[in-house]
Amino acid sequence: SLCWLDYDNSYCKTKGYAAFKDQFVRDFRHISVDPAVTNPILIKELSQFITEYFHVTIPASEQEDEHAIICGIATSSFLANKYVTQDEIRQLGSESFIIKYIEEKKSILLVGGSESGLLYSLFTFIAMIQKRIDYKKINIHESPSNPLRLLNHWDNLDGSVERGYAGASLFFKNNQIMIDHERHHDYARLLASIGINGTVINNVNVKEKAPYLITNEYLNELAELASILRAYNIRLFLSVNFMSPVIVGGLDTADPLDTKVQSWWQERVSCIYDMIPDFGGFLVKADSEYNPGPHTYGRSQADGANMLGRALKPYKGVLIWRAFVYKLQDWREPSIDRARAAYDIFFPLDGQFEDNVILQIKNGPMDFQVREPVSPLFGKMEWTNQILELQVTQEYTGHQIDLCYLGPQWKEIVGFDTHAKGTQAYVSSIINGSFYNRPIGGIAAVSNLGDDYNWTGHWLAQANWYAYGRLAWDPNLASADIAEEWVRRTMSDDQDATHSIVDMLEKSWSIYERYTTPFGLGWMVTPGTHYGPSPEGYEYSIWGTYHRANHKEIGVDRTSSGTGFSAQYHDYWTKQYDNLDSCPENLVLFFHRLAYTYPMKNGKTLIQNIYDAHFQAYEEMRAMQRQWSDMRLKIDPKIFAEVEERFTRQEENARQWRDVINSFFYRKSGIGDEQGRQLY
């Protein structure tokens, strides 16, 4: 499946299409291509779109004429001042573009700051046509918000995908890199069409054979893959194991301050760049969940990251270092709060990282729960480049069995005002480098892709992939608008269907949250798999769950007088979270330990609110399932049936969550449901 790039999808060409086509074909008779454009895939994409979407051919040439789609590069003589002013040209970064209709020429102009910008303009234009907007009114200038817009695959060399719910790896099998030209071209096209410009193809847990990826053994295949990606402005990155000098280099240490170790990395990096001149850099998970790191040698996280950063610097590569480190504290000390760990470790290192080192920070202080507060590191590290890490793969949000569109969650995260230096210090402006004037930054997301024919297992999970790319490009887009764009390009352009599917997507996260773990509780999932309820289980805490429920109370006091976590934020948020009246209720149990009888804002007790959330969200899930049934005639029957099957499984899961969690609290608290609904 080509998802939204399946230009011939008849379900997306219903009412209004025929008239639009007539108009388009009358209006545009040529594609005029700037001779400075050297990348053949650019015009090919546009021609292919026109052929498959309109079933006509519009010839491309280097001639200029009226009634044309003019494609050019800002700096070339082809356009020279004719349609764009010097000022406009100067403002165009290499990935930026302008699309505008030129009345006197009866033509549409697509101009990129470079070929990359032109590439993005083409895909944007295609999306606009698929949405059938009035192209005579177009006049847009766009630039990506984030310099780095990355996908992180957690793919292992044996072909499995950690936390993958859409089949096997797209890149590896039996310890080999499998180049599949067709599939990898499609992959690159889809990524480019939503603005993604870098990909880390292997798991951050660099296990078994994976450390050998950076040896010469795999370099030919990696170079081949990189060249497929390059045509679409996507750079290849690799996750590396900090212990590589020992594992594959035969050294007796990986100490970052050891000169043998430093030269070993320099030599490896130079071999990689010989083969892949635009290699992006390394991603490292160190001192985290059994992955070794600089702490092994008594060195700091900065020592480790900088050593690798320096090796990459001569080639303009970047070193991305994950902040997901949480075992620094003594695990025998139960009062210590994992939520504090990343900040405790990294905040003191602000100012110590090299310019090309970037700290990759998960959105929350814990681990991709259905809802967490935003990590306090954002807005606190003025001298450190930062990348926000999101999880598109639905590890804790339903395994791509349950519907959970994360656009609304990500919007809250990028739109969070950290209150650094007063107000309007949004996460989006911190990560892209603008707020603190950092040289580099961006956003990364753990991919939800696999080799399933529809890429994401659950069809509607494609919307998450799509929304991630669109928000990485422009965090100001509304999540519902993105959903609508995806639906109209992929599922159906029927108005009722679009409206209904967007509605389902938009409410799905809240529904999932409420039948699983509302009020900021998190976890309570089956250890290991992280699907389905298990109120007492969590593998990364030897003290059991993080919710610490007993017969009277639940939640963790993370205020400044509790574990002190809330004090890691700027004052504004410390106060908001500390104070029960201002702490958002959807996070109240993350920050406070409360009695089951605590009265919530709606006047009901906490325990009653927990029961209500589960009972109601289950009913809402059922309603959503019925809403899907109404789609039967509006979309492709195969897609309809496959999604219907997911809903059947989701219903079972939602029911289990409702009953298991409610019964757990009923037994703990001994307090029944005021409406007398079934508790076990």
Residues annotated as catalytic are 289, 367, 395
> What dihedral angle (degrees, nearest 10) is formed by the CA atoms of 129, 132, 133, 135?
50
Sign of the dihedral through C-alpha 345, 346, 347, 350: positive
Task: In angstroms, give the least distance from the CB of 432 to ligand BDP.
Answer: 22
Task: In angstroms, give the least distance from the CB of 674 to ligand BDP.
Answer: 36
* 386 contacts 440 by C-beta, under 8 angstroms: no
Q: Which is nearer to ligand BDP, 205 or 329 (CB)?
A: 205
User: Rounded to whole angstroms, how far apart are CA atoms 359 and 442?
Assistant: 10
Q: What residues are paired with 311 via a beta bridge?
A: none
Task: In angstroms, give the least distance from the CB of 360 to ligand BDP.
Answer: 10
Radius of gyration of the chain (CA): 26
**What is the chain's percent helix, strand, coil content, to nearest 5?**
40, 15, 45
* 97 contacts 142 by C-beta, under 8 angstroms: yes
Instruction: Tally helices (H) and strands (E) across the chain.
Output: 19, 18
Which residues of this protein are in contact with ligand BDP, per CB under 6 A? Answer: 162-163, 204-205, 285, 289, 324, 367-368, 395
Q: Which is nearer to ligand BDP, 7 or 368 (CB)?
A: 368
Task: In angstroms, give the least distance from the CB of 343 to ligand BDP.
Answer: 17
User: Rounded to whole angstroms, how far apart are CA atoms 171 and 169?
Assistant: 5
User: Rounded to whole angstroms, how far apart are CA atoms 674 and 680?
Assistant: 15
**280: helix, strand or coil:** coil
Q: Which is nearer to ligand BDP, 17 or 540 (CB)?
A: 540
Task: In angstroms, give the least distance from the CB of 396 to ligand BDP.
Answer: 7
Closest-by-Cβ residue to ligand BDP is 367
Residue 655: φ, ψ to 5°: -65, -45
CA of 515: how far to CAs of 64, 89, 201, 220, in Å?
A: 60, 52, 34, 49
Q: Helical H runs in 11-81? A: 17-27, 40-54
Q: Which is nearer to ligand BDP, 284 or 414 (CB)?
A: 284
Q: Which is nearer to ligand BDP, 544 or 599 (CB)?
A: 544
Q: What does the angle CA 409 – CA 415 – CA 421 come to, to the nearest 5 degrees?
A: 140
Q: Which is nearer to ligand BDP, 279 or 523 (CB)?
A: 523
Task: In angstroms, give the least distance from the CB of 395 to ligand BDP.
Answer: 6
Q: Which residues contact 191 (CB under 8 A, 6 or more apart)?
A: 151, 199, 232, 234, 469
Closest to 469 in 3D by CA, of 224, 146, 166, 159: 146
Q: Which is nearer to ligand BDP, 129 or 323 (CB)?
A: 323
User: Rounded to whole angstroms, how far apart are CA atoms 44 and 379?
Assistant: 43
Q: Which is nearer to ligand BDP, 121 or 360 (CB)?
A: 360
β strands within 552-607, DSSP E: 553-554, 594-595
Task: In angstroms, give the least distance from the CB of 289 to ligand BDP.
Answer: 6
Task: In angstroms, give the least distance from the CB of 367 to ligand BDP.
Answer: 5
